[in-house]
Chains A and B, each alone.
Chain A
Amino acid sequence: MKISLNNKNIEVDPGKSLLEICRENNINIPTLCYQEGLKPGGRCRVCLVEVDGKLVTSCTEKPKENSKIITNSEKVLKARKMNIELIMAGHITTCSIDKDAHDLCGMLEEIGLTGIRFEPIRKYKEDLGSSVVRNDNKCINCGRCIRTCAEIQAVYAIDFASRGYNEHVAPYCEHNLADVACIKCGQCILHCPVGAIHEREHLHEVMEVLKNKKKHVIVQTAPSIRAALGEEFGLEPGTLVTGKMVAALRKCGFDKVFDVNLGADMTIMEEASEFIKRFENGGPFPMITTCCPGWILMMEHFYPDLIKNNNMSTCKSPHEMLGMLTKSYYAKKANIDPKDIIVVSIMPCTAKKFESTRPELETGVDYVLTTREAAKLIRFNKIDFKNIKDENFDPALGIATGAGAIFGATGGVMEAALRTAYEFGNQKTLEKVEFNEIRGMDGIKEGTVKVKGKTIKFAVAHGGANNRKLLENKDKYHFIEMMACPGGCIGGGGQPPHISKDILKKRIKAIYKEESNMEFKKSHENPIVRKIYKEYLDHPLSEKAEKFLHTKYTKRSQF
Chain B
Amino acid sequence: MQILEKTELKALKKARNLGPKKTISLLNKKGLTGRGGASFPTGKKWEFALKQKSKEKYVICNADEGEPGTFKDKFIMQKNPETLIEGILIASETIGAKQAYIYLRGEYENLKSKLEKTITKVIRKAKTKVNIEIILGAGAYVCGEETAIIKSIEGFRGQPYLKPPYPPVEGLYGKPTVINNVETLTAAAHAILLDNWNSLLRLFCISGDVTKPGVYELPAGIKLSEAMKLAKPKNPVKSVYFGCFGGCMPYKDIELTHDNICGEDCVSGSCTMIVVDNTRSIVDLAYVISKFFAYESCGKCTPCREGSVRILLLIKKIRQGKATAQDLNLLQELGEHIGQTSLCGLGQSCTNHILTSLKHFRKDFEKELR
Contact = CB atoms under 8 A, between A and B. Distances in A.
A117 B303 contact: no
B340 A55 contact: yes
Interface of B: 140, 142, 157, 162, 294-303, 305-310, 313, 330, 333-334, 337, 340-343
B297 A165 contact: yes
A306 interface: no
B298 A86 contact: no
Contacts of A369: none
Contact of B306 (A55, A57, A90, A159): A90
Given A42-B162, A42-B343, A55-B340, A164 B298 contact: yes
B151 to A, nearest CB: 12
A89 B340 CA distance: 20
Interface string A538-551: 00000000000000
B310 A141 contact: no
A159 B157 contact: yes
Interface secondary structure of B, over-half rule: helix
A141 B341 contact: no
B341 A83 contact: yes
Given A43-B300, A83-B341, A164 B308 contact: yes
A103 to B, nearest CB: 14
Contacts of B298: 163-164, 167
Nearest to A56: B341
A83 B299 contact: no
A499 interface: no
30 contacts: A42-B162, A43-B343, A44-B302, A45-B303, A46-B302, A48-B341, A60-B162, A79-B341, A82-B333, A82-B334, A82-B337, A83-B302, A83-B337, A86-B303, A86-B307, A86-B310, A89-B306, A89-B310, A90-B306, A141-B305, A159-B157, A160-B299, A163-B299, A164-B294, A164-B295, A164-B297, A165-B305, A165-B306, A165-B308, A167-B298
B337 A167 contact: no
A43 B309 contact: no
Interface string A96-128: 000000000000000000000111010000000
B337 A79 contact: yes
Contact of B340 (A79, A160, A162): A79
B308 to A, nearest CB: 7
B299 A167 contact: yes
A42 B333 contact: no
A413 interface: no
Contacts, number: 85
A319 B297 CA distance: 48
Nearest to B293: A164
Given A42-B162, A118-B310, A163 B302 contact: no
Contacts of B342: 45
B306 A86 contact: yes
A163 B140 CA distance: 9
A165 B309 contact: yes
Given A60-B162, A86-B303, A159-B157, A164 B309 contact: yes
Given A46-B302, A165-B305, 7 more contacts: A43-B301, A45-B303, A87-B302, A117-B330, A164-B294, A165-B306, A167-B299
Interface residues on A, range: 20 to 34
A159 to B, nearest CB: 7
A224 B313 CA distance: 50
A167 B162 contact: no
A25 interface: no
Nearest to A159: B157
Contact of A167 (B305, B307, B313, B343): B305
B301 A45 contact: yes
Nearest to A87: B302
A165 B294 contact: yes
Contacts of A164: 294-299, 305, 308-309
A57 B162 CA distance: 11
Which of B142, B309, B313, B342 lies at the interface centre, i.e. has the most chain A CB atoms within 10 A of its CB?
B309
- The 7 lowest CB-CB distance pairs between A and B, nearest first, are A167-B299, A86-B306, A165-B309, A164-B297, A163-B299, A82-B337, A83-B302
Contacts of B310: 86, 89, 118
A118 to B, nearest CB: 6
A166 interface: yes
B343 A45 contact: yes
Interface string A485-500: 0000000000000000
Nearest to B330: A117
B111 to A, nearest CB: 24
A57 B161 CA distance: 13
Nearest to B141: A163
A104 to B, nearest CB: 12
Contacts of B302: 43-46, 83, 86-87, 140-141
Contacts of B343: 42-43, 45, 57
Contacts of A79: 337, 340-341
Nearest to B158: A163
A86 B303 CA distance: 7
Given A43-B301, A79-B341, A87-B302, A121 B140 contact: no
Interface centre among B298, B299, B303 (most CB of A within 10 A): B299
A277 B140 CA distance: 59
Contacts of A82: 303, 333-334, 337, 341
Nearest to A62: B164
Contacts of A121: 309
A83 B303 contact: yes
B369 to A, nearest CB: 17
Contacts of B305: 141, 164-165, 167
Contacts of A45: 301-303, 341-343
Nearest to A81: B337
Contact of B341 (A55, A118, A119): A55
Contacts of B307: 86
Contacts of B330: 117
Nearest to B307: A86
Nearest to A80: B341
A212 to B, nearest CB: 47
A109 B340 CA distance: 24
Contacts of A117: 330
A164 B342 CA distance: 13
Nearest to A121: B309
B138 to A, nearest CB: 10
Contact of B299 (A86, A89, A141): A141
B169 to A, nearest CB: 15
A101 to B, nearest CB: 22
